[in-house]
Amino acid sequence: MPEKQHPTLEELRNIFDLQLESSLKWRQSTAADRIKKLETIRKWIFKNQKRIKSALYEDFKKPFPETELSEIFPITIEINHAIKNLKHWMKPKKVDSSLSMLGTKGKIYFEPKGASLIISPWNYPFNLAIGPLVSALAAGCPVILKPSELTPHTSGLIENMIDELFDKSEVAVIQGGVEVSQRLLELPFDHIFFTGSPAVGKKIMEAASKNLSSVTLELGGKSPTIVHNTADIKDAAEKIVSGKFLNCGQTCIAPDYLLVHEEVKEHFMMELKVAIKKMYDPEMKGLEHSEDLARIINLKNYQRLLTLLNDAKNKGAKIEFGGKSDPETLYIEPTLVGDLNDSMTILDEEIFGPILPILTYKKLEKAISLINSKPKPLALYYFGKDDEAYKEVLHQTSSGNVMLNDCVLHFLHPNLPFGGVNNSGIGKSHGYFGYLAFSNEKGVLKQRVGLNNSTLIKPPYDLKTKKII
Protein backbone atom coordinates (compact mmCIF):
# COMPACT_ATOMS: atom_id res chain seq x y z
CA MET A 1 0.00 0.00 0.00
CA PRO A 2 1.48 3.44 -0.91
CA GLU A 3 2.79 5.50 2.05
CA LYS A 4 0.39 8.31 2.87
CA GLN A 5 1.63 11.70 3.95
CA HIS A 6 0.60 12.24 7.56
CA PRO A 7 -1.20 15.49 8.36
CA THR A 8 0.61 18.22 10.26
CA LEU A 9 -0.64 19.62 13.56
CA GLU A 10 -1.85 22.68 11.66
CA GLU A 11 -3.94 20.54 9.28
CA LEU A 12 -5.34 18.56 12.18
CA ARG A 13 -6.20 21.76 14.02
CA ASN A 14 -8.14 23.00 10.96
CA ILE A 15 -10.30 19.87 10.93
CA PHE A 16 -10.71 20.08 14.71
CA ASP A 17 -11.82 23.73 14.46
CA LEU A 18 -14.38 22.83 11.80
CA GLN A 19 -15.75 20.11 14.09
CA LEU A 20 -15.75 22.39 17.12
CA GLU A 21 -17.88 24.83 15.16
CA SER A 22 -20.23 22.15 13.90
CA SER A 23 -20.55 20.72 17.44
CA LEU A 24 -22.53 23.84 18.37
CA LYS A 25 -25.01 23.10 15.58
CA TRP A 26 -25.12 19.40 16.56
CA ARG A 27 -26.24 20.33 20.07
CA GLN A 28 -29.61 21.13 18.57
CA SER A 29 -29.87 18.04 16.40
CA THR A 30 -32.98 15.88 16.80
CA ALA A 31 -33.15 12.10 17.10
CA ALA A 32 -34.30 12.02 13.47
CA ASP A 33 -31.18 13.96 12.33
CA ARG A 34 -28.89 11.54 14.12
CA ILE A 35 -30.78 8.43 13.03
CA LYS A 36 -30.36 9.54 9.42
CA LYS A 37 -26.57 9.42 9.87
CA LEU A 38 -26.69 5.98 11.48
CA GLU A 39 -28.85 4.70 8.65
CA THR A 40 -26.33 5.81 6.04
CA ILE A 41 -23.62 3.83 7.83
CA ARG A 42 -25.86 0.75 8.07
CA LYS A 43 -26.68 0.97 4.37
CA TRP A 44 -23.02 1.34 3.43
CA ILE A 45 -22.06 -1.70 5.51
CA PHE A 46 -24.76 -3.88 3.93
CA LYS A 47 -23.65 -2.84 0.48
CA ASN A 48 -19.94 -3.31 1.16
CA GLN A 49 -19.83 -6.50 3.23
CA LYS A 50 -17.56 -8.22 0.72
CA ARG A 51 -15.07 -5.36 0.80
CA ILE A 52 -14.99 -5.42 4.60
CA LYS A 53 -14.35 -9.17 4.64
CA SER A 54 -11.61 -8.92 2.00
CA ALA A 55 -9.86 -6.08 3.86
CA LEU A 56 -9.73 -8.09 7.09
CA TYR A 57 -8.55 -11.15 5.24
CA GLU A 58 -5.75 -9.09 3.68
CA ASP A 59 -4.79 -7.70 7.08
CA PHE A 60 -4.48 -10.95 9.03
CA LYS A 61 -6.24 -13.77 7.20
CA LYS A 62 -9.34 -13.34 9.28
CA PRO A 63 -11.85 -15.95 8.03
CA PHE A 64 -14.88 -14.44 6.24
CA PRO A 65 -17.46 -16.00 8.61
CA GLU A 66 -15.57 -14.65 11.62
CA THR A 67 -15.60 -11.17 10.12
CA GLU A 68 -19.32 -11.46 9.57
CA LEU A 69 -19.87 -12.63 13.14
CA SER A 70 -17.44 -10.47 15.07
CA GLU A 71 -17.03 -7.30 12.97
CA ILE A 72 -20.21 -6.73 10.94
CA PHE A 73 -22.91 -8.34 13.09
CA PRO A 74 -22.02 -6.48 16.36
CA ILE A 75 -22.07 -3.15 14.52
CA THR A 76 -25.44 -3.96 13.00
CA ILE A 77 -26.77 -4.74 16.48
CA GLU A 78 -25.30 -1.49 17.82
CA ILE A 79 -26.82 0.63 15.02
CA ASN A 80 -30.24 -1.05 15.15
CA HIS A 81 -30.38 -0.71 18.92
CA ALA A 82 -29.44 2.99 18.81
CA ILE A 83 -31.95 3.72 16.05
CA LYS A 84 -34.72 1.99 18.01
CA ASN A 85 -33.98 3.67 21.34
CA LEU A 86 -32.43 7.03 20.56
CA LYS A 87 -35.60 9.08 20.94
CA HIS A 88 -36.12 7.61 24.41
CA TRP A 89 -32.44 8.06 25.40
CA MET A 90 -32.48 11.73 24.38
CA LYS A 91 -35.62 12.59 26.33
CA PRO A 92 -34.79 14.60 29.47
CA LYS A 93 -35.35 12.38 32.52
CA LYS A 94 -37.42 13.73 35.42
CA VAL A 95 -36.00 13.16 38.90
CA ASP A 96 -37.88 13.01 42.21
CA SER A 97 -37.60 15.93 44.61
CA SER A 98 -36.30 15.56 48.15
CA LEU A 99 -38.19 17.18 51.03
CA SER A 100 -35.99 20.28 50.97
CA MET A 101 -36.54 20.57 47.21
CA LEU A 102 -40.33 20.38 47.33
CA GLY A 103 -41.88 22.74 44.86
CA THR A 104 -38.99 22.49 42.40
CA LYS A 105 -38.68 20.41 39.26
CA GLY A 106 -35.45 18.57 38.45
CA LYS A 107 -34.51 17.04 35.12
CA ILE A 108 -31.42 15.48 33.54
CA TYR A 109 -30.70 16.71 30.04
CA PHE A 110 -28.32 14.78 27.78
CA GLU A 111 -26.12 17.26 26.00
CA PRO A 112 -23.56 16.11 23.40
CA LYS A 113 -20.08 16.45 24.89
CA GLY A 114 -18.83 17.93 21.60
CA ALA A 115 -15.73 17.46 19.46
CA SER A 116 -14.58 13.90 20.07
CA LEU A 117 -11.55 11.76 19.27
CA ILE A 118 -11.74 8.00 18.80
CA ILE A 119 -8.50 5.98 18.73
CA SER A 120 -9.00 2.32 17.89
CA PRO A 121 -6.87 -0.87 17.93
CA TRP A 122 -6.03 -3.46 15.27
CA ASN A 123 -7.58 -6.62 16.69
CA TYR A 124 -11.20 -5.96 15.67
CA PRO A 125 -10.31 -3.05 13.43
CA PHE A 126 -13.76 -2.45 11.93
CA ASN A 127 -15.92 -3.24 14.96
CA LEU A 128 -13.89 -1.23 17.47
CA ALA A 129 -13.62 1.83 15.23
CA ILE A 130 -17.25 1.97 14.09
CA GLY A 131 -18.86 0.86 17.40
CA PRO A 132 -17.77 3.98 19.33
CA LEU A 133 -18.52 6.11 16.25
CA VAL A 134 -22.14 4.91 16.37
CA SER A 135 -22.34 5.95 20.05
CA ALA A 136 -20.78 9.35 19.31
CA LEU A 137 -23.18 10.06 16.43
CA ALA A 138 -26.14 8.91 18.52
CA ALA A 139 -25.04 11.34 21.25
CA GLY A 140 -24.65 14.15 18.68
CA CYS A 141 -20.86 14.54 18.63
CA PRO A 142 -18.62 15.18 15.63
CA VAL A 143 -15.64 12.80 15.51
CA ILE A 144 -12.06 12.51 14.41
CA LEU A 145 -11.37 8.80 14.13
CA LYS A 146 -7.84 7.39 14.13
CA PRO A 147 -7.91 3.70 13.26
CA SER A 148 -4.95 1.36 13.77
CA GLU A 149 -1.91 1.61 11.53
CA LEU A 150 -1.42 -2.18 11.81
CA THR A 151 -4.47 -3.01 9.67
CA PRO A 152 -3.91 -0.76 6.62
CA HIS A 153 -6.52 -2.44 4.40
CA THR A 154 -9.33 -2.10 6.93
CA SER A 155 -8.29 1.40 8.02
CA GLY A 156 -8.15 2.46 4.35
CA LEU A 157 -11.64 1.09 3.78
CA ILE A 158 -12.95 2.91 6.86
CA GLU A 159 -11.50 6.14 5.48
CA ASN A 160 -13.22 5.53 2.12
CA MET A 161 -16.51 4.87 3.85
CA ILE A 162 -16.36 8.00 6.00
CA ASP A 163 -15.23 10.21 3.08
CA GLU A 164 -18.17 8.90 1.07
CA LEU A 165 -20.76 9.48 3.83
CA PHE A 166 -19.68 12.53 5.83
CA ASP A 167 -18.33 16.00 5.54
CA LYS A 168 -15.05 16.49 7.46
CA SER A 169 -16.84 18.87 9.82
CA GLU A 170 -18.93 15.87 10.95
CA VAL A 171 -16.62 12.86 10.85
CA ALA A 172 -13.02 12.69 9.63
CA VAL A 173 -10.67 9.71 9.49
CA ILE A 174 -7.01 10.42 10.15
CA GLN A 175 -4.70 7.53 9.45
CA GLY A 176 -1.28 7.05 11.02
CA GLY A 177 0.61 5.57 13.92
CA VAL A 178 1.87 6.73 17.28
CA GLU A 179 3.17 10.08 15.98
CA VAL A 180 -0.17 11.06 14.46
CA SER A 181 -1.99 9.86 17.56
CA GLN A 182 0.22 12.02 19.76
CA ARG A 183 -0.30 15.02 17.49
CA LEU A 184 -4.06 14.57 17.74
CA LEU A 185 -3.82 14.34 21.52
CA GLU A 186 -2.46 17.89 21.65
CA LEU A 187 -5.89 19.21 20.62
CA PRO A 188 -8.44 20.12 23.30
CA PHE A 189 -11.07 17.49 22.53
CA ASP A 190 -14.24 17.45 24.62
CA HIS A 191 -14.05 13.67 24.84
CA ILE A 192 -11.50 10.97 23.97
CA PHE A 193 -12.60 7.37 23.47
CA PHE A 194 -9.61 5.05 23.39
CA THR A 195 -9.50 1.29 22.88
CA GLY A 196 -6.12 -0.39 23.30
CA SER A 197 -3.56 -1.56 25.82
CA PRO A 198 -3.36 -0.41 29.46
CA ALA A 199 0.18 0.93 28.82
CA VAL A 200 -0.99 3.26 26.05
CA GLY A 201 -4.20 4.00 27.98
CA LYS A 202 -2.08 5.68 30.66
CA LYS A 203 -0.45 7.90 28.03
CA ILE A 204 -3.85 8.84 26.63
CA MET A 205 -5.08 9.81 30.09
CA GLU A 206 -1.97 11.86 30.73
CA ALA A 207 -2.38 13.73 27.45
CA ALA A 208 -6.11 14.23 28.10
CA SER A 209 -5.36 15.73 31.52
CA LYS A 210 -3.61 18.70 29.86
CA ASN A 211 -6.98 19.82 28.46
CA LEU A 212 -9.14 18.10 31.07
CA SER A 213 -10.79 16.20 28.23
CA SER A 214 -12.99 13.43 29.57
CA VAL A 215 -11.94 9.90 28.62
CA THR A 216 -13.37 6.47 28.04
CA LEU A 217 -10.59 3.89 28.17
CA GLU A 218 -11.42 0.41 26.88
CA LEU A 219 -8.30 -1.53 27.81
CA GLY A 220 -7.16 -5.13 28.14
CA GLY A 221 -5.78 -7.51 30.72
CA LYS A 222 -5.83 -11.11 31.80
CA SER A 223 -9.40 -12.44 31.88
CA PRO A 224 -9.51 -15.48 34.20
CA THR A 225 -11.75 -18.47 33.55
CA ILE A 226 -12.78 -20.81 36.34
CA VAL A 227 -13.89 -24.36 35.56
CA HIS A 228 -15.44 -25.67 38.77
CA ASN A 229 -16.00 -29.35 39.58
CA THR A 230 -19.74 -28.88 39.01
CA ALA A 231 -19.30 -27.70 35.40
CA ASP A 232 -20.60 -29.50 32.33
CA ILE A 233 -17.08 -30.35 31.21
CA LYS A 234 -17.64 -30.99 27.50
CA ASP A 235 -19.79 -27.88 27.14
CA ALA A 236 -17.25 -25.74 29.04
CA ALA A 237 -14.36 -27.04 26.92
CA GLU A 238 -16.15 -26.28 23.64
CA LYS A 239 -17.16 -22.79 24.70
CA ILE A 240 -13.69 -21.97 25.99
CA VAL A 241 -12.05 -23.20 22.78
CA SER A 242 -14.32 -21.10 20.58
CA GLY A 243 -13.95 -18.01 22.82
CA LYS A 244 -10.19 -18.36 23.18
CA PHE A 245 -9.22 -19.10 19.57
CA LEU A 246 -11.64 -16.69 17.91
CA ASN A 247 -9.47 -14.18 16.04
CA CYS A 248 -6.53 -16.48 16.92
CA GLY A 249 -6.73 -15.46 20.58
CA GLN A 250 -6.29 -11.77 19.73
CA THR A 251 -9.41 -10.73 21.62
CA CYS A 252 -9.45 -8.39 24.61
CA ILE A 253 -12.06 -10.54 26.39
CA ALA A 254 -10.64 -13.95 25.43
CA PRO A 255 -10.07 -16.31 28.38
CA ASP A 256 -6.44 -15.48 29.20
CA TYR A 257 -5.75 -18.27 31.69
CA LEU A 258 -7.78 -21.12 33.16
CA LEU A 259 -8.28 -22.18 36.76
CA VAL A 260 -9.55 -25.75 36.71
CA HIS A 261 -10.70 -27.75 39.71
CA GLU A 262 -8.25 -30.61 40.29
CA GLU A 263 -11.00 -33.24 40.31
CA VAL A 264 -12.05 -32.48 36.72
CA LYS A 265 -8.68 -31.50 35.22
CA GLU A 266 -8.00 -34.74 33.35
CA HIS A 267 -11.45 -34.99 31.83
CA PHE A 268 -11.44 -31.30 30.95
CA MET A 269 -8.01 -31.44 29.24
CA MET A 270 -9.19 -34.34 27.12
CA GLU A 271 -12.32 -32.44 26.07
CA LEU A 272 -10.29 -29.30 25.32
CA LYS A 273 -8.07 -31.21 22.90
CA VAL A 274 -11.06 -32.91 21.27
CA ALA A 275 -12.79 -29.54 20.86
CA ILE A 276 -9.74 -27.89 19.24
CA LYS A 277 -9.41 -30.70 16.70
CA LYS A 278 -13.14 -30.84 16.03
CA MET A 279 -13.40 -27.10 15.42
CA TYR A 280 -10.17 -26.31 13.62
CA ASP A 281 -9.13 -29.58 12.01
CA PRO A 282 -12.27 -31.65 11.32
CA GLU A 283 -10.68 -33.36 8.30
CA MET A 284 -7.44 -34.06 10.18
CA LYS A 285 -5.22 -32.30 7.62
CA GLY A 286 -3.20 -30.59 10.34
CA LEU A 287 -4.17 -27.46 12.26
CA GLU A 288 -1.69 -25.38 10.28
CA HIS A 289 -3.95 -25.74 7.23
CA SER A 290 -6.98 -24.39 9.05
CA GLU A 291 -8.73 -21.60 7.20
CA ASP A 292 -10.94 -21.02 10.21
CA LEU A 293 -8.06 -19.74 12.31
CA ALA A 294 -6.87 -16.16 11.75
CA ARG A 295 -3.13 -15.48 11.83
CA ILE A 296 -1.00 -13.33 14.14
CA ILE A 297 -1.16 -9.67 13.17
CA ASN A 298 2.59 -9.16 12.56
CA LEU A 299 6.07 -10.53 13.19
CA LYS A 300 6.55 -8.39 16.30
CA ASN A 301 3.53 -9.94 18.01
CA TYR A 302 4.45 -13.40 16.70
CA GLN A 303 7.87 -13.05 18.35
CA ARG A 304 6.37 -11.63 21.55
CA LEU A 305 4.13 -14.71 21.83
CA LEU A 306 6.97 -17.16 21.20
CA THR A 307 9.08 -15.36 23.81
CA LEU A 308 6.26 -15.85 26.34
CA LEU A 309 5.98 -19.52 25.45
CA ASN A 310 9.75 -20.14 25.52
CA ASP A 311 10.10 -18.36 28.86
CA ALA A 312 7.46 -20.70 30.31
CA LYS A 313 9.06 -23.78 28.72
CA ASN A 314 12.53 -22.83 30.01
CA LYS A 315 11.12 -22.48 33.51
CA GLY A 316 9.55 -25.94 33.48
CA ALA A 317 6.11 -25.52 31.85
CA LYS A 318 4.74 -28.43 29.85
CA ILE A 319 3.18 -28.05 26.41
CA GLU A 320 0.05 -30.17 26.74
CA PHE A 321 -1.10 -29.57 23.18
CA GLY A 322 0.12 -27.67 20.09
CA GLY A 323 3.24 -25.54 20.25
CA LYS A 324 4.02 -25.43 16.51
CA SER A 325 4.65 -22.12 14.77
CA ASP A 326 5.73 -20.70 11.42
CA PRO A 327 7.12 -17.16 11.02
CA GLU A 328 6.50 -17.20 7.24
CA THR A 329 2.75 -17.48 7.65
CA LEU A 330 2.59 -15.96 11.15
CA TYR A 331 0.94 -19.14 12.35
CA ILE A 332 0.91 -20.23 15.96
CA GLU A 333 -0.91 -23.42 16.76
CA PRO A 334 -3.62 -23.39 19.43
CA THR A 335 -1.43 -24.27 22.40
CA LEU A 336 -2.28 -25.54 25.89
CA VAL A 337 0.33 -25.05 28.62
CA GLY A 338 0.46 -26.75 32.04
CA ASP A 339 2.87 -27.09 34.98
CA LEU A 340 3.10 -23.36 35.53
CA ASN A 341 4.72 -21.35 38.28
CA ASP A 342 4.78 -17.73 39.46
CA SER A 343 8.13 -16.94 37.87
CA MET A 344 6.69 -17.23 34.35
CA THR A 345 5.87 -14.04 32.42
CA ILE A 346 2.93 -15.82 30.77
CA LEU A 347 1.07 -15.48 34.09
CA ASP A 348 1.73 -11.72 34.28
CA GLU A 349 1.41 -10.32 30.76
CA GLU A 350 -1.80 -10.25 28.75
CA ILE A 351 -1.28 -13.10 26.25
CA PHE A 352 -3.38 -11.87 23.31
CA GLY A 353 -2.71 -14.93 21.16
CA PRO A 354 -3.58 -18.65 20.82
CA ILE A 355 -1.73 -19.80 23.95
CA LEU A 356 -3.74 -20.96 26.94
CA PRO A 357 -2.10 -21.53 30.36
CA ILE A 358 -3.98 -23.93 32.62
CA LEU A 359 -3.67 -23.80 36.41
CA THR A 360 -5.49 -26.01 38.89
CA TYR A 361 -7.05 -25.44 42.32
CA LYS A 362 -8.43 -27.57 45.11
CA LYS A 363 -10.27 -24.89 47.06
CA LEU A 364 -12.23 -22.13 45.34
CA GLU A 365 -10.85 -19.52 47.75
CA LYS A 366 -7.36 -20.21 46.33
CA ALA A 367 -8.58 -19.48 42.80
CA ILE A 368 -10.28 -16.31 44.03
CA SER A 369 -7.19 -15.09 45.85
CA LEU A 370 -5.03 -15.70 42.76
CA ILE A 371 -7.45 -13.60 40.68
CA ASN A 372 -7.41 -10.88 43.34
CA SER A 373 -3.61 -10.82 43.36
CA LYS A 374 -3.61 -9.53 39.76
CA PRO A 375 -4.92 -6.23 38.29
CA LYS A 376 -8.70 -6.19 37.84
CA PRO A 377 -9.56 -7.96 34.58
CA LEU A 378 -11.84 -6.90 31.73
CA ALA A 379 -13.92 -10.08 31.99
CA LEU A 380 -14.22 -13.04 34.34
CA TYR A 381 -15.79 -16.37 33.38
CA TYR A 382 -17.16 -19.06 35.63
CA PHE A 383 -18.27 -22.52 34.50
CA GLY A 384 -20.21 -24.53 37.07
CA LYS A 385 -23.70 -25.43 38.21
CA ASP A 386 -23.12 -24.62 41.88
CA ASP A 387 -24.91 -21.35 42.58
CA GLU A 388 -23.20 -20.81 45.93
CA ALA A 389 -19.73 -21.11 44.41
CA TYR A 390 -20.70 -18.79 41.55
CA LYS A 391 -21.95 -16.16 44.01
CA GLU A 392 -18.71 -16.44 45.96
CA VAL A 393 -16.74 -15.70 42.79
CA LEU A 394 -19.10 -12.91 41.75
CA HIS A 395 -19.01 -11.07 45.07
CA GLN A 396 -15.39 -11.62 46.06
CA THR A 397 -13.75 -10.49 42.81
CA SER A 398 -13.77 -7.31 40.73
CA SER A 399 -13.87 -7.22 36.92
CA GLY A 400 -15.47 -5.20 34.12
CA ASN A 401 -17.91 -7.97 33.19
CA VAL A 402 -18.74 -11.47 34.42
CA MET A 403 -20.20 -14.32 32.43
CA LEU A 404 -21.57 -17.55 33.83
CA ASN A 405 -21.32 -20.79 31.82
CA ASP A 406 -20.09 -19.15 28.64
CA CYS A 407 -17.50 -16.65 27.51
CA VAL A 408 -17.03 -13.65 25.17
CA LEU A 409 -20.72 -13.58 24.22
CA HIS A 410 -21.60 -10.75 26.63
CA PHE A 411 -19.96 -8.36 24.14
CA LEU A 412 -23.08 -8.67 22.00
CA HIS A 413 -25.64 -7.81 24.68
CA PRO A 414 -27.02 -4.38 23.77
CA ASN A 415 -28.39 -3.59 27.25
CA LEU A 416 -25.32 -4.41 29.35
CA PRO A 417 -22.49 -1.96 29.99
CA PHE A 418 -19.27 -3.21 28.40
CA GLY A 419 -15.86 -2.21 29.73
CA GLY A 420 -13.21 -2.64 32.35
CA VAL A 421 -12.32 -1.40 35.79
CA ASN A 422 -9.07 0.40 36.69
CA ASN A 423 -6.28 -1.40 34.80
CA SER A 424 -8.75 -2.89 32.30
CA GLY A 425 -10.53 0.39 31.65
CA ILE A 426 -12.41 3.47 32.73
CA GLY A 427 -15.97 4.15 31.57
CA LYS A 428 -18.37 1.91 29.69
CA SER A 429 -19.52 1.43 26.12
CA HIS A 430 -22.28 -0.18 24.02
CA GLY A 431 -25.89 0.89 23.59
CA TYR A 432 -27.15 3.38 26.16
CA PHE A 433 -23.82 3.27 28.01
CA GLY A 434 -21.95 4.22 24.83
CA TYR A 435 -24.44 7.06 24.31
CA LEU A 436 -23.77 8.23 27.90
CA ALA A 437 -20.00 8.12 27.32
CA PHE A 438 -20.37 10.90 24.72
CA SER A 439 -23.08 12.83 26.64
CA ASN A 440 -22.88 15.37 29.41
CA GLU A 441 -25.64 14.56 31.89
CA LYS A 442 -26.70 18.09 32.71
CA GLY A 443 -28.74 18.48 35.90
CA VAL A 444 -31.33 21.23 35.53
CA LEU A 445 -33.43 22.53 38.41
CA LYS A 446 -36.47 24.76 37.93
CA GLN A 447 -37.77 26.78 40.85
CA ARG A 448 -41.55 26.93 41.15
CA VAL A 449 -43.27 27.59 44.45
CA GLY A 450 -41.13 25.93 47.10
CA LEU A 451 -38.57 27.11 49.58
CA ASN A 452 -36.23 29.34 47.68
CA ASN A 453 -32.67 30.27 48.33
CA SER A 454 -33.65 33.64 49.72
CA THR A 455 -35.69 31.99 52.49
CA LEU A 456 -33.24 29.15 53.04
CA ILE A 457 -29.71 30.46 52.77
CA LYS A 458 -29.92 34.20 53.02
CA PRO A 459 -27.97 35.94 55.80
CA PRO A 460 -28.26 36.98 58.50
CA TYR A 461 -28.15 33.33 59.52
CA ASP A 462 -30.48 33.56 62.46
CA LEU A 463 -30.74 29.82 62.94
CA LYS A 464 -32.15 30.17 66.47
CA THR A 465 -35.31 31.85 65.27
CA LYS A 466 -35.70 30.13 61.87
CA LYS A 467 -34.92 26.60 63.07
CA ILE A 468 -34.54 25.19 59.59
CA ILE A 469 -32.46 22.15 60.56
DSSP class per residue in 342-364: TT-GGGTS---SSEEEEEEESSH
Known catalytic residues are 218, 252
Amino acid (1-letter code) at residue 343: S
Least Å from the CB of residue 281 to ligand NAD:
27
d(C-alpha 356, C-alpha 335), whole Å: 6
d(C-alpha 285, C-alpha 305), whole Å: 24
Angle (deg, nearest 10), helices 31-47 and 49-60: 70
Decide: 218 and 420 in contact? Cβ < 8 Å.
yes
Q: Using CB under 6 A, which of the segments 9-17, 192-200, 229-237, 274-282 binds ligand NAD?
A: 192-200
d(C-alpha 67, C-alpha 54), whole Å: 9
- Per rule CB under 6 A, is residue 219 in the interface with ligand NAD? yes
Interface pick for ligand NAD out of 23, 154, 195, 216 (rule CB under 6 A): 195
- Per rule CB under 6 A, is residue 148 in the interface with ligand NAD? yes
In the complex with ligand NAD, which residue's Cβ is closer, 195 or 399?
195
CB atoms within 10 A of CB 122: 21
Least Å from the CB of residue 420 to ligand NAD:
6
- Kindly write out the interface string for residues 395-434 of this chain, putting x where it contacts ligand NAD by CB under 6 A and - elsewhere: -------------------------x----x---------
- Per rule CB under 6 A, is residue 378 in the interface with ligand NAD? yes
- Per rule CB under 6 A, is residue 203 in the interface with ligand NAD? yes
d(C-alpha 142, C-alpha 111), whole Å: 13
Least Å from the CB of residue 181 to ligand NAD:
3
- Per rule CB under 6 A, is residue 282 in the interface with ligand NAD? no
Interface pick for ligand NAD out of 15, 77, 83, 119 (rule CB under 6 A): 119
Interface pick for ligand NAD out of 86, 252, 260, 340 (rule CB under 6 A): 252
Interface pick for ligand NAD out of 123, 216, 247, 325 (rule CB under 6 A): 123
Going by C-beta distance under 8 Å and a sequence separation of 6 or more, which residues neighbour residue 287? 276, 277, 280, 281, 293, 322, 324, 333, 334
**Residues 313-319: contacts with CB under 8 Å, at least 24 apart:** 315/341, 315/343, 315/344, 316/341, 317/341, 317/344, 317/346, 317/357
Q: Using CB under 6 A, which of the segments 79-87, 114-122, 256-264, 402-410 binds ligand NAD?
A: 114-122
d(C-alpha 90, C-alpha 382), whole Å: 36
Interface pick for ligand NAD out of 178, 270, 456, 457 (rule CB under 6 A): 178
Decide: 293 and 251 in contact? Cβ < 8 Å.
no
Interface pick for ligand NAD out of 152, 220, 255, 338 (rule CB under 6 A): 220
Q: In what order do the strands lie in the sheet with 401-404?
A: 318-321, 335-338, 355-361, 255-261, 223-227, 379-383, 401-404
Least Å from the CB of residue 360 to ligand NAD:
25
Q: Using CB under 6 A, which of the segments 93-101, 174-182, 303-311, 442-450 binds ligand NAD?
A: 174-182
Query: Can you give the binding site for ligand NAD, defined by CB under 6 A?
Result: 119-123, 128, 146, 148-149, 177-178, 181-182, 195-197, 200, 203, 218-220, 252, 350, 352, 378, 420, 425
